Amino acid sequence: MTTVASRIPAEDLQDLSRIIEAYSEVTERLKHSHELLSAEVCRLRQQLAEKNKELARRERLAALGEMAAGVAHEIRNPLAAMELYVSLLERDLQDEPSKLAVAHRVATGIRNLECIVRDTLSFAHSAEPEFRAVPAMQIIERVVTQAMPQADALSAAIEVDDRFHEVMFWCDAAQIERALMNLVYNALDACGGEGHIRLVDGGRSEDGRFAQLVIEDDGGGIPEELLDRIFNPFFTTKHSGTGLGLAIVHRILEAHGGWVRAGNHEGGGAAFAMGVPVATGEVIHRPADKGGAD
């Protein structure tokens, strides 16, 4: 029996086979391109969602900062008067120890309120960074020196990675020092007596523009459900404090175009990673934008 294929010349069959192969190849390429485009669309959508989330956060923080600044200013004036009157009262009660002790407690409460007002104003009116090339170890050593009295009182140890001698930050030294100080004090509170804190060089970011400074402690770590809230203003798990320390750290790193992230390391304690712009050789890397991630 003669089939259709047997009536087609061999050359035509070869041409048809090549056409089918070419069609299959083009189809496969289109499929691959479609998969790549789909993946890119998903990535861009995720990136857009993250940017929208960050923008919404900034708008909330701006509104909260404006309100907090107004309240803090209104509180500061009567608080100054109260502090003056209590100091006069303490002077007049020198011969009455029981009443003087009460006055001391009132004075302590007023000083605590003043700290809250100061932190609130600092959070609301954060200054623009003045960028300069600064040795990373210079900032770290100042922070460790200031933290040592509390570390000694707790019999805690602070270990610093020697690799920081090779890192040059491009930053506002005073602001980065304050951010690092807040994180070190938090770590001391977390690890308690005879604890251990490590300041570790986490290497460069993928684009090489940022140095990663990691602060690790051997405390109880951060509960998973708190990681998304830990940088929110006025959020705290402590019995005392304003809940503004980590929010101020976040704002400082954001103003530098960098980031601060919270998590737990393999040893079980907490770990905070700061991304700080670096100065390398003759090229000074300024942050491309002020939109850092948390």
Nearest in space to 114 (alpha carbons), one of 69, 66, 80, 85: 80
Host H or E run for residue 116: helix 97-124
Q: Is 230 helix (H, G, I), strand (E, B) or coil?
A: coil
Strands 270-277 and 210-217, sheet pairing: antiparallel
Which residues of the chain are under the pLDDT cut of 50? 282-294
Q: Which residues contact 165 (CB under 8 A, 6 or more apart)?
A: 135, 137
Strands 157-160 and 196-204, sheet pairing: parallel
Could you give the CA distance from residue 16 to residue 23 in angstroms, rounded to a whole number?
A: 10
Q: What pLDDT does residue 273 have?
A: 94
pTM of the full structure: 0.63
Q: What pLDDT does residue 6 have?
A: 56
Q: 92: which 2 tokens?
A: 């007049």
Q: 272: which 2 tokens?
A: 């905070």
What's domain 132-284's superfamily in CATH? Histidine kinase-like ATPase, C-terminal domain (3.30.565.10)
